[in-house]
Amino acid sequence: MKKPFLFLCASLLGLSTSHAQWVSQPVAFSSTTYYPASLQAVDASAAWAVGSNPSGLFTPQGIGTQEVARTINGGSAWQTRTVPGLAADEVLTSLTAQSAAAAWVTTIGSTRSQLLRTTDGGTTWQPMLTLTSATADRSLNYVGFFDATHGLCLGDADNGDRLVLYLTADGGATWTANRSLPLLTDDEYLTSVSRPAVVGNNIWVSTTASRVFHSTDRGLTWSVSEVLSGATFTPNGPRALAFADAQHGLALFSRTDGFTDNAPLYQTSDGGATWQTAAFSGPLHGGNLVLVPGTGNYLSVGENLPVPGVPTDAGSSYSRDGGATWTALENTENHQLLTAAGPLAVWSSSYDFLTGHSNGVRKLTSLALPVRAAHSAQQNRLQAYPNPSPDGRFTLEAAGITAGTSIQVFDRLGREVSHDTWAGAAQPRYTLRLDGQPRGLYTVQVGTGAGAVRQTISVQ
């Protein structure tokens, strides 16, 4: 199957440009031409990636490799491994991490496509789904989960009329084929650069025809919309999809994909049913974009390409107002892939097309979390203690809270794990119980008359 070449290319609370810093972290794959793709952060300590080989684009094997990389110490060291048991021409097409020890990969080869799982940090991998050459559709490209039990696996259709779709309701032990996705247009594939966006039971999937498939019920049923309705060019689909909630999201396109009006950002306020050009100011980058889970704020990145006529786009920027205004972090670093599991867990990766070597990964460190002026007084009065909490129980205090104030808690993937109301003056302290949740970082959000105020908390 031939697919258009797309550079393999996630949000955060506001960052202070004087304190933001990207720190380089080498990743030693077996070849210096391999760079980290399918990059995914788990938390501030753990992240995963697969090796990708852009120099192999026009070879039979393509850009895929059989290697994965993982860090469990914040990127101070990355360990690489070869996934065992693959056929000689079988390569990795995607990776999804669930924890520091557990991850999934998809593969493609001349005779089969597989979905594999590891629970021991990548030492061993078990096949959970295998499609052979006897299967008309056999290209698996993505796996994702809505919760501990429900997930889906997507792939491109070889001589098929729909994308490949398999669902699980038992944590991935068994998978069932589903043909509810809308029909494809000619030469339409999943975008290899844009990971699907997931919020609660919702998932949005973009294609090279600049269409977005949306499911509200964990993949059981689907609708489809066109982001670039009436467009006179084919920009290979969005570089990124990012949603702040079930209704509001952004689709980012690259300025190198045929845009002449400097407007590569589109927005939706109805869950992706319709899309409009998003007016914005500031240095939005066209390489990738993410929403840092639980924060409602976006980060964009880009790169300079050694191609005559292609605009320079190196750097990174952030938006704290839904994408309307962008503030520069820096304008010198090259970034392609981007991932964020929280404000302290942001990584990017890139490839140097001049030298043909990987740039490894970069981690965003020394974060400052400014608060909008209208919220600053209230933010300073919001306290959560003990933080970190050894047992998952926190006491919240906030002066001026009125009766019926909402309290929401989001996990690192932006999923709501707790929702309650505060009695206000009649309840000066609120006991937040996350003792049933896994260890890690969470964002507590308290509604106020001036808007929501947030604080990052940690369950140890």
- Residues 290-349 have pLDDT tens digits of 997 766 689 999 998 887 777 788 999 999 889 999 999 999 999 999 999 887 789 999
User: Prior bond to 388 cis, omega within 30?
Assistant: yes
- Read off the pLDDT band of 384 (50, 70, 90): confident
pLDDT band at 428 (very low <50, low <70, confident <90, very high): confident
Residue type, 245: D
pLDDT at 283 over 50: yes
Distance CA 215, CA 182 (A): 11
Tell me the backbone φ, ψ of residue 453, rounded to 5 degrees: -115, 150
DSSP secondary structure string for all residues of 327-344: EEEESS----EEEEEETT
pLDDT of the residue at 55: 76
pLDDT at 17: 41
Q: According to the model, what pLDDT value does residue 312 have?
A: 85
pLDDT score at 375:
42
Go through the domains of the chain in sequence order and give each one's CATH number: 21-365 (2.130.10.10), 373-459 (2.60.40.3080)
Which of 306, 370, 429, 444 minimizes the C-alpha distance to 14?
370
pLDDT digits (tens, 9 = 90+) for 202-244: 999 999 899 999 999 999 999 999 998 765 555 678 999 999 8
Amino acid, res. 122 = G
Stated as kind and residue range, the H or E segment containing 379 is helix 373-381
Q: Which tokens sit at 373?
A: 């002026």
Which backbone phi and psi does 378 adopt, to 5 degrees?
-65, -40
Q: For 97-122, b where at least 16 C-beta lie within 10 A, e where not — what string?
A: bbebbbbbbbbbbeebbbbbbbeebb
pLDDT at residue 11 above 70? Answer: no
Q: Which long-range contacts (CB under 8 A, 24 or more apart) does 118-122 make?
A: 121/70, 121/72, 122/68, 122/70, 122/79, 122/81, 122/83
348 with 361: CB under 8 angstroms?
A: yes
Burial environment of residue 224 by CB neighbours within 10 A (0 to 12, 13 to 18, 19 or more) = middle
Place of tokens 């259709």: 157
The larger pLDDT score, comparing residue 347 to residue 20, is at 347
> Do you find a cis peptide bond into 386, omega within 30 degrees of 0?
yes
Rounded Cα distance, 270 and 398, in Å: 33
* Residue range 348-368: mean pLDDT, rounded: 82
